[in-house]
Structure 1
Amino acid sequence: MSDNQAILEEEFEVLESIFPDELEKLGESSVRIRIEPEEPSASHPLSLYLNVDYPAEYPDVIPELALEPIDEESGELRDGEEERILRELRTIAHPMQAEESLGMAMTFTVASAAREILAVVVGERWKKERDEEDRKAAEYEEKEAARTRGTPLTPATFNDWRKEFMAALKAKREREEEDRVKALPPKEKEEWKRRRDRLSGRQLFEQSKALATSDEALYEEGAAEVDFSQYSREQREADRRRAEEEEENRRRGLVADDSDNE
């Protein structure tokens, strides 16, 4: 048996005493050691096999190192993590070639370093996930704040709102008028049709214009004095409700007049 092989056999005996449950001998010149962070995390499990293959020149050269997943429950390495861990382990192993008692010291030190590096990897994963959760929370809070702030009132946004409001109000009146006519008795419905048909072109035009613009005066009159910075969403809603109520009262008054005339 060569001196190198004798040193390796002695190292195996020492490693078996240090890692009685974690060490598995794969051959005459290779082992694998189950490693995990010094403080395992239940939410981020990460246990791996550290495979060590000893060249014939060992311990004059460092052994070949590789990482192997154990199973799905033990966790897996993510992109770039395996290369990083092996690079750090080789960086630790290289200076040891110049030290005495290479065998046991090299494998044990590398395995211990692997445990520390896994702990760092788990901590970085946890921090990355926490930072992502904080980013999403901040983004959600910003969206909610923007939603509750509403749209700033400017002349352009006010005019857009007014056009939509007037169009919706006109459509609402037309639907109400259609429903009212449908509910009339046949005789009154015929009378309503005759009155409608007797209207001249000018009267029809004026009536249509009145339906479309009856509330415009509420906004046109004094429009130059509107202070947009003080015109809140609540005020717009109050004006809209008041306009609808006034129109409803006006319409009911006209219906009552027609009934009295008959």
Structure 2
Amino acid sequence: MADHQAILEEEFEVLESIFPDEFEKVSDNEVRIRIEPEEEVSGHPCELCCWTELTPVSLVLVVTYPPTYPDVIPELSLEEIDEELGELREGEEEEVVGQLNQVAEESLGMAMTFTIATAARETLSALINSRKVREQEEDEARARAYEEEEKKKTRGTPLTPALYAKWKDSFRAEMATKKAKQAEDAMRALPAREREDWRKKNARASGRQLFETAKVSATSDEALYEDGEAVDVSQYTREERDRARWEEEAKEEQAGHVALDDSDDE
């Protein structure tokens, strides 16, 4: 029958010689070994013109030996030393301990503490490198998001058929409102009689009124030729012809009033 305690004491002596400053024997079945990464950890530049510093991580590997060690694996755990030497993040202790347990399973029946401690250093280095890669990816993602936001400021909103239709309706409504205001301002600047004529002209006419207006316009145009005057109607706009007709009607009305006053005097 193997003397498990004697095997363990012999292993302790070897560990003390290998780790003179890192090894600490707590009891006959428990030791503590300080673990540091194999390589020095440095930061990395991010794309936003800053330098991301990575805190080095130094831990204590706590090994508790069962009575039948090394026929069974020891109980392993990690302890943080202080904040300045780094802290484990959520889920990292379980990840590291899980890998160390796999190493211990492969070494059953042999003194395995040195192997576990060496694997702990390698795993810790890989953990720090994983952090560095992950943080660099996060920095790059933030940089891309920042650049995309800056591009949006200069690129504007992409034009789609729906946006164009919305803009067109809004533009037409704006122009109609502007045109109506300009017409209203122009109407207010007219004399009272011309303002009333303007209102009549812009009032909504019925079909009968449009028909009669067309007949009057045709008769008026024919009268110009019957009087022997060759007039180029195309030189006048409809508005100018209407104004001329209104002035002619006003003169006739005034002449009628004069004639009526003369007959009253008689």
Partner of 1:139: 145
Mapped to 1, the partners of 2:154 and 2:62 lie a distance apart of 58
Superposed CA deviations along residues 34-68 of structure 1, whole A, max 9, x for unmatched, are: 10110131523111100011112112221111111
1:109 to partner: Cα distance: 0.4
1:123 aligned to which of 122, 125, 129: 129
Superposed CA deviations along residues 54-93 of structure 1, whole A, max 9, x for unmatched, are: 1121122211111111111111111111111111111111
SS for the counterpart of 2:117 is: helix
Give yes or no for the alignment of 1:16 onto 2:11: no
Partner of 1:215: none
Partner of 2:209: none
The structure carrying a bigger helix percent of its residues is: 1
Q: Is the contact between residue 40 and residue 46 of structure 1 (CA under 8 Å) also seen in structure 2?
A: no
Mapped to 2, the partners of 1:164 and 1:22 lie a distance apart of 81
Shift in CA distance, 114/156, structure 1 to aligned 2, threshold 3 Å? same
Shift in CA distance, 57/159, structure 1 to aligned 2, threshold 3 Å? same
Letter of the 1:157 counterpart = W
Letter of the 2:149 counterpart = K
Mapped to 1, the partners of 2:9 and 2:38 lie a distance apart of 28
Counting only pairs closer than 5 Å after superposition, residues 30-49 of structure 1 correspond to structure 2 as: 30-42=30-42, 43-49=54-60
Partner of 2:167: 157
Give yes or no for the alignment of 1:67 onto 2:78: yes
Shift in CA distance, 162/41, structure 1 to aligned 2, threshold 3 Å? farther
Letter of the 2:106 counterpart = P
SS for the counterpart of 1:20 is: coil
Q: Is the contact between residue 32 and residue 63 of structure 2 (CA under 8 Å) also seen in structure 1?
A: yes
Q: 5+ unaligned residues in a row in structure 2: which ranges? A: 43-53, 179-187, 200-266
SS for the counterpart of 2:107 is: helix
Letter of the 2:139 counterpart = E
Give yes or no for the alignment of 1:88 onto 2:102: no
1:52 aligned to which of 60, 63, 77: 63
Mapped to 2, the partners of 1:77 and 1:83 lie a distance apart of 10
Q: Is the contact between residue 55 and residue 85 of structure 2 (CA under 8 Å) also seen in structure 1?
A: no
Mapped to 1, the partners of 2:175 and 2:36 lie a distance apart of 66
1:120 to partner: Cα distance: 1.0
Q: Is the contact between residue 66 and residue 72 of structure 2 (CA under 8 Å) also seen in structure 1?
A: yes
Mapped to 2, the partners of 1:126 and 1:165 lie a distance apart of 59
1:78 aligned to which of 80, 89, 97: 89
Superposed CA deviations along residues 188-224 of structure 1, whole A, max 9, x for unmatched, are: xxxxxxx99x989x69xx9xxxxxxxxxxxxxxxxxx
Shift in CA distance, 150/80, structure 1 to aligned 2, threshold 3 Å? same
SS for the counterpart of 1:65 is: strand
Shift in CA distance, 125/9, structure 1 to aligned 2, threshold 3 Å? same
Shift in CA distance, 61/163, structure 1 to aligned 2, threshold 3 Å? same
Shift in CA distance, 3/135, structure 1 to aligned 2, threshold 3 Å? same
Task: Judge which range, 64-73 or 141-150, deviates more.
Answer: 141-150
User: TM-score, with normalisation over the residues of structure 1?
Assistant: 0.58
Partner of 1:28: 28
Root-mean-square deviation (CA), in Å?
3.4
Shift in CA distance, 14/150, structure 1 to aligned 2, threshold 3 Å? same
Counting only pairs closer than 5 Å after superposition, residues 104-119 of structure 1 correspond to structure 2 as: 106-119=112-125
Counting only pairs closer than 5 Å after superposition, residues 236-255 of structure 1 correspond to structure 2 as: none
User: TM-score, with normalisation over the residues of structure 2?
Assistant: 0.57
